[in-house]
Amino acid sequence: MPAQKTLLFVGYGNMAKAIALGIANSNLKDIYRFEITGRNPQKAQKFLEENHLTGEAKIYDPSLGIDVDGKIVILCIKPYALESFKYKGNANSVYSVMAGVNIDTLKQHIISANYVKAMPNVGARYQKSSTAVYMEGNIAEEAKKIISSFGCAVFVDSESLVDASIATGGSSPAFLALVAQALIDAGVREGLKREDALSLVRTTFEGFSHLLCEQSPDQIISSITSPGGTTIEGLFVLEDRAVRGAFIQACHEAVLKCKKKH
């Protein structure tokens, strides 16, 4: 059996957890071993233990820096924290999920043969992330395997398009959660118990995801909306309140916020 490659996670927040669990639950689990590092070794160790990941919690020492030599580094820290860490050695590849941080900036902080900029979302922990990817280097096959292990990987021609994908993937789970919350409240308003409304909405979202795999949004709407029926009445209100436009603008503002970080 070939020696395991090292996946070094810098950061131990929600996105690091989502990606690590996605990889650990995929067919790549025997190929890679995990290392976690950050400014708090106790949190790094807790990250491994709570998520049942086999590996080693590396302690970050500001005076020595983080050993990245020959490793696959996954940067899961906040953009402002990039300058808080020092790296030593030459990494095999660097995967950054930091919004608004371009590859040229990464090159100023960490030396690597390959660089990958990606924008996954929290669905990664269930291997359901939608991830836009831009790459500089010769690791296309490995990058596709790693990113596909926690969801769908869409390779784009420009790193600016990775930031643009915040509109369709990065921030959209929060926007959809707002929709779900509104539907639950609507059910409560009409007399349903909150737990019953929650159960119904969860199942509706699950069924909708399957429909969307087979049909376009227009087709789904047409299949549900009968002439003079209940659905068209609700759709009229949503269009009258410019809900679609509000969503498009919300996504646009999220992308603009990301671009301002460059």
How do residues 126-157 score in pLDDT, each as one tens digit? 888 889 999 998 888 889 988 998 888 999 99
Show the domain range for 206.
172-259
| Domain total of the chain | 2
Out of 100, 130, 156, a domain closes at: 156
Per-residue pLDDT band for 218 (boundaries 50, 70, 90) equals very high
pLDDT averaged over every residue in the chain: 89
Q: How far apart, in whole angstroms, are the C-alpha atoms of residue 93 and residue 112? A: 5
- Decide if 106 is inside a domain: yes
Give CA torsion, residues 180, 183, 184, 190, to 10 deg.
Answer: 180
Q: Is residue 1 scored above 60 in pLDDT? A: no
Question: 29 and 82: one domain?
Answer: yes
Domain ends where: 156, 188, 203? 156
User: 239 and 139, same structural domain?
Assistant: no
Residues 178, 115 share a domain = no
Judge whether residue 35 has pLDDT over 90. no
Cα distances from 165 to residues 17, 214, 234, in angstroms, run 21, 22, 29
Q: In terms of domains, do 18 and 115 share one?
A: yes
Could you tell me if residue 252 is inside a domain? yes
Res. 262: pLDDT tops 60: no
The pLDDT of residue 55 is above 70? no
Residue 161 confidence (pLDDT) above 60: yes
Decide if 164 is inside a domain.
Answer: no
